[in-house]
Structure 1
């Protein structure tokens, strides 16, 4: 009787062989899941254990210049990713036209869209540095479950989607997320410039609102696909919808804890104490 491990390996090999694409397999990290899983394991080990241990008796690194350059890069790269959607005039049309009706699409456009998703996947790897910077700056309190889960699962899920489930649905999701990242990393860039720019960050509270709105728009889009009778893969729709729903819950819970509870606590403190706490 075959062992469970041998059955899993056999089924995986059959799945990989059925999804073999010479062009995609030639792209970095795409031929095998080993590199992306190794990156994920190394990331989790460093930010949750090794990093905090190494920094326990060391002063925090001053990474101001690095972080400014990193955030500027993220803004520009996210803008570039957003722009790729409009590179082919037919890409947007395919999302709500040809693809929705189940009509065949141009092979050149399909390859281009897959390459866009690959660049998006690479951006998810680069974004793991967000957490690494927290650790090196000894801001371990910001290495929350939401933060680590969000970065880790986005990288892994994007690889899985590109390798096994790729279709046009991910293009709109990636475009919307990249657009939000333009706003988000612009905020981080301004914040990294120094205290003299704090007056331009009055919209901090709305950052989470922007992310929540993003997830709501994604869910509306995903639920509209079967409602409109689109002949796109329902498994991909459910794949995205499930992940987006989890993010929506986690970010809403974060917002509730970070802002709703603070507002209640502030209302129970004398006015003088509130003003003093804002100055600290």
Structure 2
């Protein structure tokens, strides 16, 4: 026990010594362990505890809550995109080729530092994507890709905010928040019900957009391996390899969802009692239209 306490104390000293002094005192920034514990708790909750608690319960009807949540995520993502963009990338002061971290406390610089922390915080709000699946007993939608993405991202972003808040790596956040504006808009529309189906022909292009962002991030990060730039090489590899991993995960999802032929066993047509009855846009078999169609949102892996 003494050795563990000594290790934790040494870790705390290391974090304070090499962490960015501007973010060191901020909420959840003093140590990586609170974020790690939250991420591990999330995985346990969605893979073990949540399904167990819901096993003998009826699924919750969350249509209005899901619509409201996705709307707030669109607004939050748009605000983050604006803040990250106008703190550097849209002003002409940031270089797409090489952008070192500005360690000053200038107002414009601190605006970017704060945006980095709020981007980190946004990774926790995305946990609710999975919580809604569990509460609606859509456990088959809590895929490996889904859990890996949500479970890894908060810890990954924490290191950036702790050591390099600003600079080259914020290009990741700029692209990611833009993709989230599109993605959560799609989710919000699907949650509204079957009458929105005709407007959602572009669902597979959202996954294409997600993969495109990873290609851009890979190129943007790894270019620093071939040029001189005052930016930590460790973070170049950290960001670049994360993008590589997620690109291949999303690529596999895309192939399985849109390229492979679907084999469906022949089944007799539903009887009058089995077929859902629609009247004025409402399913009359005991489910609201939102609950009946909201499953369609899961054609996309929530997250990046």
Q: TM-score, normalised by structure 2?
A: 0.79
* Residues in 1 aligned to 2:83 and 2:131: alpha-carbon distance in whole angstroms: 29
SS at match of 1:262: coil
8 Å Cα contact 1:134-1:143 kept in structure 2 = yes
Deviates further, 26-35 or 55-64: 26-35
Query: 1:112 Cα shift?
Result: 2.0
Cα gap change, 1:165 to 1:89, in 2 (>3 Å): closer
Kindly state the Cα deviation for residue 170 of structure 1 after the two structures are TM-superposed. 2.0
Moved runs in structure 1, 4+ residues, more than 6 A?
none
Aligned-pair CA distance for 1:194: 0.7
What's the CA shift for 1:115? 0.8
For residue 87 of structure 1, give the secondary structure of its aligned residue in structure 2.
Answer: helix
Q: 1:105 offset after TM fit, Å?
A: 6.3
Query: Which residue in the other structure is 1:16 paired with?
Result: 15
Task: Output the CA distance in 2 between the equivalents of 1:31 and 1:104.
Answer: 20
Q: Is the 8 A contact 2:190 2:196 kept in 1?
A: yes
Structure-to-structure mapping, 1:2-151, within 5 angstroms? 5=4, 8-9=7-8, 11-21=10-20, 23-88=22-87, 92-96=91-95, 100=98, 106-108=104-106, 109-151=108-150
- Corresponding residue for residue 229 of structure 1: 228
Q: SS in structure 2 opposite 1:100?
A: coil
Q: Distance in 2 between matches of 1:92 and 1:228?
A: 23
Q: Does 1:190 align with 2:189?
A: yes
CA distance in 1, matches of 2:190, 2:259: 23
Q: Provide the secondary structure at the position in 2 that maps to 1:65.
A: helix
Distance 1:131 1:103 in 2: 34
Per-residue deviation, 1:39? 1.6
Separation of aligned partners in 2, 1:132 and 1:101: 37
Inter-CA distance 90–53: structure 2 relative to 1 (3 Å threshold): closer
C-alpha displacement at 1:242, in angstroms?
A: 0.9
Cα pair distance change 1:216/1:101, threshold 3 Å: closer
Whichever structure has more helix as a proportion of its residues is 1
Deviates more, 1:247-256 or 1:158-167: 158-167
Provide the rounded CA distance (Å) in 1 between the counterparts of 2:217 and 2:184.
20
**Number of matched residues?**
269
For structure 2, the residue ranges without an aligned partner over 5 or more in a row are: 270-274, 277-304
Cα offsets for 1:1-43 (capped at 9, x unmatched): xx98577546523421313555423322222333212321221
Deviations 1:30-75 (A, max 9, x none): 2233321232122111101111011111110000010000000011
User: What's the RMSD between the two structures over aligned residues?
Assistant: 2.9
The gaps in structure 1 that reach 5 residues or longer are: none
Task: Provide the residue aligned with 1:171 in structure 2.
Answer: 170
2:57 alignment partner, SS class: coil
Once the two structures are superposed, residues 95-119 of structure 1 have per-residue CA deviations (whole angstroms, 9 ceiling, x without a partner) of 317x937596653233222211100
Residue aligned with 1:30, SS? coil
Q: Is the 8 A contact 1:85 1:92 kept in 2?
A: no
Question: Are 1:199 and 2:170 an aligned pair?
Answer: no
